[in-house]
């Protein structure tokens, strides 16, 4: 169940919890019934993301929510409202004046607040007899009349984005037997029909005709056939054309270069790039995107069956380039190469490639920062700025030309992995 977001002049009588913004300095709202010294005694300083539940004998529970000092950024608003929803626990109707207290542009604050609340409330239903419940039913953003219109528009934008993110989470969390490549294609058709996208699905026979030897080679060990899905959003008088390519390895055993069990258990997540592309595509019509956008989902398993591709094999991609296989667990780049070739044929202005491609990036940057590599500094800077606005963390990594020789092969155009453990 997705919670609703309402804009109101005051907290409704039905509210189970009321979030009260408290800064690191200044007066403490009287509605809390606590002094700053009392808050401090409970470890609450008013920092962004801090919360303190104040029990009430009757009526709504009040929750102190830290907002820091001064005007809040969108990221701070998102963090604070997410903390409020988590602190509210099983309380179903949560109201707060935090959007008004944040200062700055009300629409942006309402968008961030909505995103924070809905993402914090997310629960994967799971394959359980009793599903995991999401307790939040309604978020009420209390703002003055002058900010109501902008807040309503911002909250709707936040809802669209948060629901898309929750779709990506659902897809990534789904067990591999419940989300095969064919099922992912069916899901893409369902999402496309609901969100104004043109959807094309290419099966293994069509992929063979197209010369997509990368995805077909990786798929050879699987009993489940592969699928390439192309989703297209075309507004009136588009101002440009962006392509997005998502890695959709529905389960990655590593192939003959078999992963250890501890490293394999989470490999249903190896399709998260495709999930992100599908989810992003689902927002474009609602957000009135002015550019044409084409998304590609490259969906297959990487298994170690009797016909699995082998070390030393050579695969031929859509564009005629060949790769010698030195490690079957470096399969994502092989799957993506075909889609990148297909995408390039349409001559878009830019291509974004999303993939859970290598653990080396996590070694370098940790779990909270995504690696970003590109061949155009201006476009890379745009991605970095957009990520910062969205509250995501990315870090640009180099693509030095002198590393290219590490992929040289005596029998193919390149190898699918470098010669040593360094550099990913």
Q: Would strands 61-66 and 17-22 be described as parallel, antiparallel, or unpaired?
A: parallel
Q: For residue 361, how far is the Cα from the chain centroid?
A: 17
SS3 36: helix
Phi and psi of 208, rounded to 5°?
Answer: -65, -45
Q: Which residues pair with 231 in a beta bridge?
A: 199, 295
Distance from C-alpha of 258 to C-alpha of 268, rounded to nearest angstrom: 15
CA distances from 308 to 15, 302, 325, 328 (A): 58, 9, 12, 9
Distance from C-alpha of 415 to C-alpha of 410, rounded to nearest angstrom: 9
Phi and psi of 334, rounded to 5°?
Answer: -70, -40
Contact 50, 44 (CB under 8 A): yes
DSSP string for residues in 207-226:
HHHHT-HHHHHHHTT-SSPP
The residue written with tokens 């949560």 in the block is: 94
Give the residue numbers annotated as catalytic, written as ranges.
Answer: 259, 333
Q: Would strands 322-324 and 414-415 be described as parallel, antiparallel, or unpaired?
A: parallel
SS3 369: coil
């Amino acid at each position: 169940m997705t919670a609703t977001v309402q804009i109101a002049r005051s907290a409704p009588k039905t509210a189970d919890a009321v979030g009260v913004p408290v800064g690191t300095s200044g007066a403490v709202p009287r509605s809390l019934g606590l002094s700053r010294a009392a808050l401090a005694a409970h470890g609450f300083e008013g920092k962004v993301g801090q919360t303190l539940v104040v029990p009430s004998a009757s009526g709504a529970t009040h929750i102190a929510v830290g907002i820091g000092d001064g005007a809040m950024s969108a990221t701070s608003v998102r963090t604070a409202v997410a903390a409020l929803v988590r602190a509210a626990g099983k309380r179903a109707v949560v109201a707060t004046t935090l959007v008004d207290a944040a200062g700055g542009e009300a629409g942006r604050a309402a968008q961030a607040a909505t995103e924070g609340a809905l993402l914090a409330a997310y629960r994967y239903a799971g394959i359980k007899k009793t599903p995991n419940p999401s307790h939040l039913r309604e978020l009420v953003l209390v703002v003055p009349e002058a900010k109501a219109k902008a807040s309503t528009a911002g909250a709707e934008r936040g809802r669209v984005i948060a629901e898309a993110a929750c779709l990506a989470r659902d897809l990534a969390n789904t067990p591999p037997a419940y989300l095969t490549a064919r099922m992912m294609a069916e899901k893409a058709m369902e999402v496309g029909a609901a969100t104004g996208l043109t959807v094309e699905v290419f099966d293994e026979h069509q992929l063979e005709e197209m010369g997509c030897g990368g995805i077909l080679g990786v798929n050879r060990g699987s009993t489940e056939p592969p699928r390439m899905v192309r989703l297209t959003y075309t507004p009136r008088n588009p101002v440009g054309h962006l392509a997005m390519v998502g890695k959709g390895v529905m389960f990655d055993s590593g192939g003959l270069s078999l992963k250890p069990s501890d490293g394999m258990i989470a490999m249903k997540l190896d399709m998260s790039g495709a999930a992100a592309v599908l989810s992003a595509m689902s927002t474009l019509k609602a957000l009135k995107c002015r550019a044409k956008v084409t998304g590609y989902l490259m969906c297959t398993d990487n298994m170690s069956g009797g016909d699995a591709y082998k070390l030393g094999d050579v695969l031929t991609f859509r564009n005629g380039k060949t790769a010698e296989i030195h490690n079957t667990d470096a399969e994502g780049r092989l799957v993506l190469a075909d889609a990148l070739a297909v995408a390039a044929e349409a001559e878009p202005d830019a291509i974004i490639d999303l993939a859970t491609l290598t653990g080396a990036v996590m070694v370098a940057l940790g779990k909270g920062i995504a690696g970003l590599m590109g061949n155009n500094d201006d476009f890379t800077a745009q991605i970095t700025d957009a990520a910062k606005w969205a509250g995501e963390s990315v870090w640009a990594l180099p693509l030095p030309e002198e590393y290219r020789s590490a992929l040289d092969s005596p029998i193919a155009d390149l190898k699918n992995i470098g010669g040593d453990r360094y550099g990913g």
